[in-house]
Amino acid sequence: MARYALRRLPSIALILLLVSAIVFVAIHVLPGNAATLILGEYATPEALRTLEREMGLDRPLVVQYASWIGSVVTGDWGVSLAMKQPVATVVGYRLRNSAFLAAAALAVVIVVGIPLGTLAALRRGQPLDLAIVTATYVGISIPEFVTGLLLLLVLAGPTLHWLPTSGYTELASGVAAWARHLVLPALTLTIVLLAHVVRQTRSGMADVLTAPYIRTARLKGASTRRVVLRHALRNGLLPTITVLALDLGYLMGGIVVVEEVFAYPGLGRLIVYAVQNRDVPLLQMCALVVASVYVLANFAADLAYAWFDPRIRYS
Amino acid sequence: MTFSRRAFLKASGGAAALPLLNPLAVLAQGEKAGGVLRVSVTFGLSTINPIMHISGAEWMATKWMYNNLTRLNAKREPVPDLAESWTAADGAKVWTFKLRQGVRFHSGRELTADDVVTTFTTLLDPKTASPYRGEAGPIDRVEAVDKSTVRFTMKSPFSVFPAVTAVPNARIVAREGLGDLKALASHEFGTGPFKLKEFVPGDRVVVERFGDYFRKGEPYLDGVTLKVFPDPATELAAFRNKEIDLISGLTPDLFSQVATMSGAEALAVAGGTFAAVTLPSDKPPFNDNRVREALKLCVDRTLMLAAINNGQGELGVDHPVSSAYAAYSPLPPRAADIPRARQLMKEAGLGGGVNVKLFAANSPPIRERIAVVLKEMAQPAGFNFDVEVLAYDRYLAQVWNKGAMYVVYYATRPTADAILMKLYHPKEGLDEGRWAPTHANAIRVLDQAREVVDADRQRRLYADFLKTARDEGPFMLPFFANELNGKWSYVRDYRLSPSSSDMILDDVWLAADAPKKKA
Amino acid sequence: MRRSPALAVGGLILAIVLVLGVAAPWIVPYPTTEQHMLERLKPPGARFVLGTDQYGRDLLSRTLVGTRPALLLGLGAVALGLTVGVPIGLLAGYAGGRLDDVVMRVVDAMLAFPSLLLALLIITALGASTGHALLAIGVANAPGVARIVRSATLSLREAEFVLAARARGERHLYVMFGEIFPNVLAPVVVEATLRVGFAIVAGASLSFLGLGVQPPTADWGLMIREARQYVFVSPWPLLAPGTALAITIVAFNLFGDGLRDRLGAA
């Protein structure tokens, strides 16, 4: 297993390099550059040229890319073209915020979703299953931005005001305040993901529960709980694990609509900002961070496979 | 704290002191101190560099941390800020400003003429690439006559200069801050009533009281927080919950919500901000003035204002000088007249209609709304507009200033000269309507107006130009948007400026019933 | 074979949605771009069955017309994702070894590329439209589909019926598509119908962010984007397209689950 892990590392590095190259090329294909965005409708040709020269945007593309790689290797992620702040600081802050949100949402989804899905699979066709299934339908059929707005109006509006409307408080200012700001965006995300995971678990577990080796275990007199925990869960969860790994990546970069609605300072909005302002160094680090999360999450999922299902061999 | 403030007040009867304290306020002095004002906007805040910044939220932030030589009063006339007086010589070609004594930067150092000279030299230096370089006026050189006198020599007479020194990009920056311009993006070197405490680009700016501000006794507030709320609905909810004290840039549709909230006030002031459609006059179909006129006659401006801006505004007659400008001259409103429009189209040989592409950036939203509504309104006269809405970054790269028909958007400027030059002049501005080459006489009127010192003569020249702009100009400008703010009543002595990002907080205070909260 | 109410109900709703989508241009009471300025933001009434939006356009007409782009985008994007992803996943899971490694590394690279960024770049480069949104969402879907199919295939690679087929001398292609594929069909079908729902939501999200179809086109995500600002004045511009979205996605999911029950029990 350890050897397998080590063998994967160079390919992970290669993947990240590829991602950064694609991002670099893609953003230069887009019309305009950071200078045009900074000057906006006040640009004059001379001002543009001057600014481009100052930001090093007039150098050949290969030189710009090589120079960026060179500084990254020494740990210098550069300065954001639009914000004029060190990229690492800006991204670090947003990454941490997104991480909190992702962790909160995933925790709920795992703790609640897997048992719910298993329960539904065990009680196939019965009222409990139908209730769970109906709830998941509702959860996945309303888009996050609608759910978010509705939750906002109900829970954070003037009538109830249980929760703050937006933004983010530092953990240092108090755990309670920090947690309260996380609730609404996390809840919005959870609803959709929960539904997805419950359904996948239900589907996977239902399949497995009809498999011969499960029937054998049952015939041998094993209790349902033992059957589920010992045998079914391992294999039934394989598709779920894949989904969770995908979800983690989605959470880190894709929840921009929820971030917009709640004014949550996360990575998603930062990525949109970076693209809109053609802020190459900022975008590169964001892309690599999100890509790394995906890659590492999938890698962990692969390891989990092997652990859960001894039948899977990595030759 | 409060006692020393009283002492300052009594001692501050100095020469050019401006504080607008009324006697009643002095009596309640003790209650005025303290509290943090929380202001919200819906976009912006990428930088706090006063030489380079170009958007409302940023102008607001630097207004609190810096001062200019002059500032504009409610009538948009220049009044003293860092300069206590100024004189013109040689037919408005030489301007001499006398600086106040004893003004301190946040670093403790005293303001001198050198700081002013360095600021303007940096602003005008082509290497700085400041977006506002062209709008500072035809400055030839700046020099320090002595420690507290600065002389500007213009290339040509420029009578409106004292109003121009009030623009956001002419904030006076300490010499030390101008060496390495990178520092200005996240640090400040100002003399303003507030010091920078925290700046998170795209999210918020937090400033705190500067105890040694030259307007003694001010500011009353302990600090100000400016926060970006990208979603107006979230912003309004936060305001309702008193997490925000003042909404800047309140949208017209939410204006009535604020107006009906008990304890809150919705403020509206006539402004000069507008969205207009360019009618490129260098090629068909708009090179024929009959076609331009026809389009202008298609628009029911009252209905457009009602639909797009909820009636919050002032009708326009296709030129950019609203009642918020000192050079304003009223002209009769323009009603829609579809039959006449059709007639004109027929005369121009376009009786069968014409297809034109109309571009609009998707930000701010008013642009696409104008495009969508214009498309419907112009249909009956034979205009078939193919509306294409673009993301702002693509709009900048592919549409802006390239001679197409698109929707422009401009905020209120300090002087009519500034906005007129920007829109019509081929050298000083963009001439986005591609109109100047065929209307050299009109442009000459603009050139003259800025040189003329006699106020009456200047007004007549502008009136002349505005009539031409209305009748033949390359813009369809339906209305000016009011400046709208929402605030709670406990925010006192706040005056909404016709240019809302020109937010003076020197003398604003919070009444006792303001929520006691940390920023 | 178990009777499935989900299949019937889901199928019925889907059929209705499909018919409405196709027939919309002929059955709408008003042209979708026709503005009635004096009747802005009105609640449901006699003249406008679902009310009007901020320009006085009929919400019922706009919602109906918005069905087609939503369906096209959802189905198209998933079809694209499946066409590319299923064969890749089968191949990788079945072959195992180095081929699996190589293929999955490529898939991982595609998967690692943040889908939001991918969509943003595609749309910024090519322009905002339903077609480009479809491309972006389809491309973003493919690697995920491949991964799921691969994981299901991996579990079955050593199953008895597969070994039996190989022992019988069947060719690899047949084993992959003839033996394994029908058995991974269940999770793939569930996945596909869920993904149609997600693709429709993704498309609506892109429009909501201003990255999809542009005004004045009638599109559910775009309608919600515009409705957001007026939600305190009238909730109908939000509720009409929001409900339409919800109904459509529920229908796809019901149908998918019903289909799964049928196939699974077979």
Rounded Cα distance, A156 and B364, in Å: 27
Nearest partner of B31 among B398, B513, B384, B516, judged by Cα: B513
Give which of C105, C108, C157 to mutate to test A binding, by max A Cβ within 10 Å: C108
For chain C, say whether A249 makes contact (Cβ under 8 Å): yes
Helix (H) or strand (E) holding B303: helix B301-309
Rounded Cα distance, C12 and C15, in Å: 5
Rounded Cα distance, C233 and C244, in Å: 21
pLDDT beyond 60 at B28: no
Q: Which pLDDT does position A162 carry in this prediction?
A: 57
Residue B278's φ and ψ, nearest 5 degrees, are -75, 140
Q: Please judge whether B127 and A48 are an interchain contact, meaning their C-beta atoms are less than 8 angstroms apart.
A: no
Q: How close C262 comes to chain B (CA, Å)?
A: 45
pLDDT beyond 80 at B487: yes
Each residue's pLDDT tens digit, B415-451: 999 999 999 999 888 899 999 999 999 999 999 999 9
Q: Please judge whether A82 and B46 are an interchain contact, meaning their C-beta atoms are less than 8 angstroms apart.
A: yes
Q: What is the model's pTM?
A: 0.79
Q: Which residues pair with B355 in a beta bridge?
A: B384
* Residue B25 pLDDT grade (very low, low, confident, very high; cuts 50, 70, 90): very low
For chain C, say whether B393 makes contact (Cβ under 8 Å): yes
CA distances from A125 to A131, C13, C187, C261 (A): 10, 21, 18, 10
Could you tell me which residues come within 8 angstroms of residue C218 by beta carbon, excluding any fewer than 6 positions away?
A: C32, C61, C62, C63, C65, C66
Pull the structure tokens for residue B9: 């007040």
Residues A103-122 as b/e (b if ≥16 CB within 10 A, e otherwise) read ebbbebbbeebbebbbbbbb
pLDDT beyond 60 at B519: no
Helix (H) or strand (E) holding B361: strand B354-361
- Provide mean pLDDT across the span C190-194: 77
- CA-CA-CA-CA dihedral for B42, B47, B52, B54, to nearest 10: 0
Q: How many C-beta atoms lie closer than 10 Å to residue C84's C-beta?
A: 18
Alpha helices (H) in A142-174, listed in sequence order: 144-155
Nearest CB among A11, A142, A257 relative to C209 is that of A257
* Residue A8 pLDDT grade (very low, low, confident, very high; cuts 50, 70, 90): confident
Residue C148 Ramachandran class (φ > 0 left, ψ -120 to 50 alpha, else beta): alpha
Q: Which pLDDT does position B21 carry in this prediction?
A: 44
Q: How close C101 comes to chain A (CA, Å)?
A: 9
Residue owning tokens 């307007």:
B215
Cis before C216 (ω within 30): yes
Q: Which pLDDT does position B367 carry in this prediction?
A: 93
pLDDT beyond 50 at A223: yes
Nearest CB among B251, B253, B388 relative to C214 is that of B388
Q: Any idea how long chain C is? A: 266
Nearest partner of A186 among A221, A151, A143, A227, judged by Cα: A151
Each residue's pLDDT tens digit, B10-19: 333 333 333 4
- Residues 399-418 in B contacting A (C-alpha not used; CB under 8 Å): 400-401
Determine the 3-state secondary structure of B267 from DSSP: strand
Strands (E) in B155-201, as ranges, are: 194-200
With CA atoms as reference, the chain C residue closest to A192 would be C198
Q: Please judge whether C250 and A14 are an interchain contact, meaning their C-beta atoms are less than 8 angstroms apart.
A: no
Q: Please judge whether C242 and A142 are an interchain contact, meaning their C-beta atoms are less than 8 angstroms apart.
A: yes
pLDDT beyond 60 at A173: no
Q: Which pLDDT does position B19 carry in this prediction?
A: 41
Which of B486-500, C83-97, C156-170 is modeled with the greatest confidence?
B486-500
Nearest CB among B306, B307, B389 relative to C214 is that of B389
Write the DSSP string, B388-441.
EEE-HHHHHHHTTTTTSEEEEEE---SSHHHHHHHHH-TTTS--TT--GGG-HH
Q: Which residues pair with B71 in a beta bridge?
A: B79
Residues of chain C with Cβ-Cβ distance to A246 below 8 Å are 111, 144, 147
Q: Please judge whether A143 and C208 are an interchain contact, meaning their C-beta atoms are less than 8 angstroms apart.
A: yes
Looking at every residue in chain B, the average pLDDT score rounds to 88
Strand bridging mode B509-510 / B491-492: antiparallel
Q: What sign results for the dihedral spanned by CA atoms A272, A274, A278, A281?
A: negative
Q: Which pLDDT does position B146 carry in this prediction?
A: 93
Q: Please judge whether A309 and C257 are an interchain contact, meaning their C-beta atoms are less than 8 angstroms apart.
A: no
Each residue's pLDDT tens digit, B129-166: 787 887 788 899 999 999 999 999 999 999 999 999 99
Write the DSSP string, C13-65.
HHHHHHHHHHHHHHH-SS-TT---GGGTTPPS-SSSTT-B-TT--BHHHHHHH
Residue A115 Ramachandran class (φ > 0 left, ψ -120 to 50 alpha, else beta): alpha
Quote the percentage of chain A above a pLDDT of 90: 3
For chain B, say whether C228 makes contact (Cβ under 8 Å): yes
Could you tell me which residues come within 8 angstroms of residue B210 by beta carbon, excluding any fewer than 6 positions away?
A: B106, B192, B193, B194, B195, B219
With CA atoms as reference, the chain B residue closest to C126 would be B394
Could you tell me which residues come within 8 angstroms of residue B284 by beta carbon, excluding any fewer than 6 positions away?
A: none
For chain B, say whether C125 makes contact (Cβ under 8 Å): no
**B255 burial class (0-12, 13-18, 19+ CB within 10 angstroms)?**
buried
Half-sphere exposure of A205 (CA within 13 A, CB side): 28
Q: Which pLDDT does position B455 carry in this prediction?
A: 85
* Residue A163 pLDDT grade (very low, low, confident, very high; cuts 50, 70, 90): low
Nearest CB among A30, A238, A294 relative to C111 is that of A294
pLDDT beyond 90 at B36: yes
Residue B294's φ and ψ, nearest 5 degrees, are -55, -45
Note the ipTM here.
0.72
Q: Which pLDDT does position B2 carry in this prediction?
A: 37
The larger pLDDT score, comparing residue C176 to residue B177, is at B177
Contact C86, C176 (CB under 8 A): no
| C207 residue type, one letter | S
Q: Which pLDDT does position B11 carry in this prediction?
A: 39
* Residue B492 pLDDT grade (very low, low, confident, very high; cuts 50, 70, 90): very high
Q: Please judge whether A146 and C144 are an interchain contact, meaning their C-beta atoms are less than 8 angstroms apart.
A: no
Q: Which pLDDT does position A250 carry in this prediction?
A: 64
Pull the structure tokens for residue B15: 């020469």
Nearest CB among B372, B387, B390 relative to C55 is that of B372
Nearest CB among C55, C228, C229 relative to B373 is that of C55
Each residue's pLDDT tens digit, C44-68: 988 888 999 988 899 999 999 999 9
| B212 residue type, one letter | D
Residues of chain A with Cβ-Cβ distance to B397 below 8 Å are 30-32, 36
- Provide mean pLDDT across the span C192-204: 83
Quote the percentage of chain C above a pLDDT of 90: 15
- Residues 80-109 in B contacting A (C-alpha not used; CB under 8 Å): none
Q: Please judge whether C190 and A294 are an interchain contact, meaning their C-beta atoms are less than 8 angstroms apart.
A: no
- C-alpha angle with apex A250: A249 to A251, nearest 5 degrees? 90
Strand bridging mode B83-89 / B94-99: antiparallel
Residue B48's φ and ψ, nearest 5 degrees, are -120, 25
Nearest partner of B243 among A232, A177, A154, C259, judged by Cα: A177
- Provide mean pLDDT across the span B406-414: 92
* Residue C266 pLDDT grade (very low, low, confident, very high; cuts 50, 70, 90): very low
